Chains A and B, each alone.
Chain A
């Protein structure tokens, strides 16, 4: 066998194996779509129907009739967007200060920040609920947005990036022109941090959108929940209407996949680069 043929065979085998893996990655989505587009009777049939049916719109309509899909999607969107905007702002000003300035106590403060990484959030689930009760935030979206408005991970990530991406000369020039810290942040740091902010933004949005334990604990009013909690309630309530549950799941998954596709290429490179650096 000549080397060119060997290379071609090897490449074909690689693609076949990789495509098999892709099929496994994608299959649950396909299966969700199949069940969402059939009737529940079809779902329980043996042998199972493996191709999509024609009942998708009907199932989606049932979802909107039975659960507050619009309300819970809206709640989730509010929480995810508000958290993302706050995280990007608070994390980036803190990261900028840590990366490019000297001030008394800086090192100790940064060590404290890193140490908070080690604490598992589940440790404080019970008392956090009590704190929220005292603030009158149980059942309110504030209980989700405010505790997540700033985080050590983002500050650490942006600081690493800012150290390399913001030239000190540029800050000196801005200072000579009379820019104070906030003006330097707005005019110099923010534009240069944009790639890292895009990564942190997508990361935060997806994470907040999918958050489950804390919303489940703190949103005690069944009428006012996030999408993930609504999905899990729906699964418990409509155990017999499987195709409707699947249609709801489908609707809950789609927005996120769109957000991911918008920034996928850059996002994945940044993710990998971050892991290597750490």
Chain B
């Protein structure tokens, strides 16, 4: 610690050293504040100011070029009655639901298999499972667009090969959502599996040995030991995938376009904000949607918080810090 060492130095020559220490301390404080200042300066300019400004903007009507016009709460009133806004919320939650549950389930199963003792090639598997996560979403959306394509898609070719009817994935409400969810699942399962694997490796092996001695089956071990011990980590991954899921943008934008495809079925909350603000130049309304999103995210985080709390204090602390 800085203070204790200066005190120790001062002990050798009380008067002069103490004065020198104060001077040094002052110049050290200056250096320390200088060291941490970039974050606060950049946050003030590119974080705090825009947020305050967006609050102001949400009470205006502005197309980005002409004069702003004060409209009071009109943007918010419009938002609450805007069926496209509500549709984008419903879409976001539907996609979140059908992607998160399979994703975390597969991740757990993969981590469980990777954690088996004396498994060969564990680190090669980890790398292979993580590669989807470093790939850009734009690239993934282009590739998945061809896999799910209405006319020549690989999945439809497969369906035809087994004699089933092909599905116009990108033309039907659930088809679009499944295609988007598939991208999320593909990109994030490996990531979550690696997090789970780390959690599994922290579970004492004696527990498994005891279970083996008692003749427990794989399934029993999985549901009676693994899942309960992993609970804090599971909650961590639920929270991170909630945050990610609420912010879904690039996947639907590249796959089905700015308005979310036929019937706006792929339009997520952030995509709707983008479309209103930057395609339709409704800057005031875009800012209002931003605050709408913020409230929804806070509410959903609070629900998660309650879930975490219910699951025990250990989970609470981890979730809070994540």
| Chain A contact residues, CB within 8 Å of chain B | 11, 14-15, 17-18, 21-22, 24-26, 28-29, 31-32, 35, 43-48, 90, 93-94, 96-98, 100-104, 109, 112-113, 116, 118-120, 122-131, 146-147, 149-152, 155, 168, 171-172, 175-176, 180-182, 185, 206, 209-210, 212-213, 217, 227-228, 231-232, 235, 242, 245-246, 249, 252-253, 256-257, 259-261, 264-265, 268, 271-273, 275-276, 278
Interface pair B51/A124, CB less than 8 Å apart: yes
- In the complex with contacts A123-B291, A249-B142, A181-B35 CB distance below 8 A: yes
Nearest CB of A to B192, in Å: 10
Nearest CB of A to B280, in Å: 12
Nearest CB of B to A76, in Å: 10
Q: How far is the CA of A122 from the CA of B248 in the complex (A)?
A: 11
Nearest CB of A to B93, in Å: 16
Chain A residues with CB under 8 Å of B143's CB are 28, 31-32, 246, 249
| Top 5 closest pairs, chain A to chain B, by CB | A272-B198, A124-B50, A127-B50, A181-B31, A127-B53
Nearest CB of A to B301, in Å: 8
The chain A residue with its CB closest to the CB of B319 is A278
Interface pair B247/A31, CB less than 8 Å apart: no
Chain B residues with CB under 8 Å of A47's CB are 157, 161
- In the complex with contacts A47-B157, A125-B273, A180-B31 CB distance below 8 A: yes
Chain A residues with CB under 8 Å of B223's CB are none
- In the complex with contacts A131-B45, A181-B31, A46-B157 CB distance below 8 A: yes
Chain A residues with CB under 8 Å of B238's CB are none
Interface pair A22/B154, CB less than 8 Å apart: no
Beyond the given pairs A25-B129, A90-B38, 5 more chain A to chain B contacts, judged by CB atoms under 8 angstroms and listed by A's residue number, are A32-B139, A103-B33, A122-B293, A126-B54, A227-B136
Interface pair A128/B50, CB less than 8 Å apart: yes
- In the complex with contacts A11-B119, A210-B137, A275-B198, A126-B283 CB distance below 8 A: yes
Q: How far is the CA of A272 from the CA of B1 in the complex (A)?
A: 30
Interface pair B5/A149, CB less than 8 Å apart: no
14 residue pairs from A and B, CB less than 8 Å apart:
A32-B139, A102-B3, A103-B32, A109-B36, A109-B40, A128-B46, A210-B138, A212-B249, A212-B250, A231-B139, A268-B123, A268-B127, A268-B130, A278-B321
Interface residues of B in 178-232 (CB under 8 A from A): 186, 190, 194-195, 197-199, 202
Q: How far is the CA of A273 from the CA of B151 in the complex (A)?
A: 45
Chain B residues with CB under 8 Å of A119's CB are 47, 51, 294
Chain A residues with CB under 8 Å of B144's CB are 28
The chain A residue with its CB closest to the CB of B116 is A14
Indicate whether B132 reaches chain A with its CB closer than 8 angstroms. Answer: yes
The chain A residue with its CB closest to the CB of B9 is A176
Q: What is the number of contacts between chain A and chain B, taking CB atoms within 8 Å?
A: 264
B131 CB contact (under 8 Å) in A18, A246, A260, A278:
A260
Chain A residues with CB under 8 Å of B5's CB are 168, 171-172, 175
Q: How far is the CA of A138 from the CA of B195 in the complex (A)?
A: 38
Q: How far is the CA of A3 from the CA of B40 in the complex (A)?
A: 62
Interface pair A21/B129, CB less than 8 Å apart: yes
A120 CB contact (under 8 Å) in B35, B57, B247, B321:
B247
Nearest CB of A to B66, in Å: 14
Interface of B, secondary structure class, is helix
Nearest CB of A to B257, in Å: 8
Q: How far is the CA of A18 from the CA of B236 in the complex (A)?
A: 24
Interface of A, secondary structure class, is helix
Q: How far is the CA of A185 from the CA of B5 in the complex (A)?
A: 17
Interface pair A264/B127, CB less than 8 Å apart: yes
Chain B residues with CB under 8 Å of A15's CB are 120
| Chain B contact residues, CB within 8 Å of chain A | 1-3, 5, 8-9, 27-29, 31-33, 35-36, 38-40, 42-43, 45-47, 49-51, 53-54, 57, 64, 106, 110, 113-114, 116, 118-120, 123, 125-132, 134-140, 142-147, 151-152, 154, 157, 160-161, 186, 190, 194-195, 197-199, 202, 233, 236, 243, 246-247, 249-250, 253-254, 270, 273-274, 277-278, 283, 286-287, 290-291, 293-294, 297, 301, 318, 321-322
A98 CB contact (under 8 Å) in B36, B40, B321:
B36
Q: How far is the CA of A231 from the CA of B143 in the complex (A)?
A: 12
Output the residue of B139, B233, B270, B321 with the most chain A CB within 10 A: B139
Q: How far is the CA of A175 from the CA of B57 in the complex (A)?
A: 51
Output the residue of A125, A172, A235 with the most chain B CB within 10 A: A125
Interface pair A126/B51, CB less than 8 Å apart: no
The chain A residue with its CB closest to the CB of B286 is A126
Nearest CB of A to B180, in Å: 15
The chain B residue with its CB closest to the CB of A151 is B39
The chain A residue with its CB closest to the CB of B124 is A22
A124 CB contact (under 8 Å) in B33, B54, B321:
B54
Interface pair B39/A276, CB less than 8 Å apart: no
Chain A residues with CB under 8 Å of B9's CB are 176
Nearest CB of A to B41, in Å: 9
Nearest CB of B to A122, in Å: 5
The chain B residue with its CB closest to the CB of A252 is B139
Nearest CB of A to B291, in Å: 7
The chain B residue with its CB closest to the CB of A26 is B128
Interface pair B318/A278, CB less than 8 Å apart: yes
Interface pair B250/A18, CB less than 8 Å apart: no
Q: How far is the CA of A125 from the CA of B40 in the complex (A)?
A: 19
Chain A residues with CB under 8 Å of B270's CB are 122, 213
Chain B residues with CB under 8 Å of A272's CB are 194-195, 197-198
